[in-house]
Amino acid sequence: MKYAVLSDIHANYEALVAVLKKAEELGAKAYVFCGDLVGYGPDPERCTQLVMQMKNFFGVMGNHDYALFHKDALSWFSDYAKISLRYTLKNISNSSLEYIKKFPTSFQGIHFAAVHGSFFNPFRDYLLTVDQFIYNLPLWKGPLCFIGHSHIPFVMSFDKKPKISVFMGKDVTIKMQPNVRYMINPGSIGQPRDSNNLASFGLVDTKANTFRLVRVGYDIVAVQRRMRSCGLPELLYDRLRRGT
């Protein structure tokens, strides 16, 4: 079976639609989401309603999702993120909020685990180093763990010693080996930060035992235009062009 690994949609509807179309073309039959459905982008309602209609979709909560329901989390946020959160709360329905509120903090299943930041702190930790990878290893089970939050795609693996591969701006496929544990970040759909402005997601093929990082183009200018018309900060829509 093939399933798509998604993260950090950030209310970017055009990017989400492009990614879902590509995932379907590649044969994805299920979807794992690593958090941050909302925040930064202009379309929290459209994105949430689209996800709500999807079959075989499972997600965990990101820090921007969490902040919708916990005002104390605002202390973690930049001024730009606070503005986007206030915008989100004004432009999202109660049904969408109830849906997001049901996302678990983390997930541990038979075939994979998932968390937004790290298992030590799901909403604040940016897991980027080998040391963090090693500290988190005892906190999840099985061969695969998917994470998000940093918006940077990478694969960390552990056999006899830890290894990290960062895929800055690339579309690559790796063969996953038996008896090796992998922690994978599929990058961001709605706001990439690896110097590549293409939307990023992952595709797992359980038959071939592979993980593919996939990049997808979308109409960035249209999203920027909409963000500008919504009064969102210039920094948030300018970085879509830069991919940083």
Report pLDDT digits (tens) over 124-147.
999 999 899 999 999 999 999 999
Average pLDDT over residues 21-50: 98
Tell me the residue type at 2: K
Residue 186: pLDDT over 70: yes
Contact at 8 Å (CB) between 5 and 107? no
Rounded distance between C-alpha atoms, residue 4 and residue 34, angstroms: 11
How much of the chain is in helix, strand and coil states, percent to nearest 5? 35, 20, 45
* Long-range contacts from 154-163, C-beta under 8 angstroms, 24+ separation: 154/128, 154/184, 154/185, 155/182, 155/183, 155/184, 155/185, 155/211, 156/130, 156/182, 156/183, 156/184, 157/181, 157/182, 157/183, 158/133, 158/134, 158/182, 162/130, 162/133, 162/134, 163/130
Average pLDDT over residues 169-190: 91
Rounded distance between C-alpha atoms, residue 109 and residue 214, angstroms: 24
Beta strands at 181-185 and 173-175: parallel, antiparallel or unpaired: unpaired
Q: What tokens appear for 226 in the block?
A: 């909409």
According to the model, what pLDDT value does residue 168 have? 63
Q: Let me know if domain 2-242 sits in CATH 3.60.21.10.
A: yes
Beta strands at 162-166 and 154-158: parallel, antiparallel or unpaired: antiparallel
Domain ranges of the chain: 2-242
Report pLDDT digits (tens) over 73-95.
989 999 999 999 999 999 999 99
Contact at 8 Å (CB) between 140 and 176? no
Beta strands at 144-146 and 154-158: parallel, antiparallel or unpaired: unpaired
pTM strictly above 0.85: yes
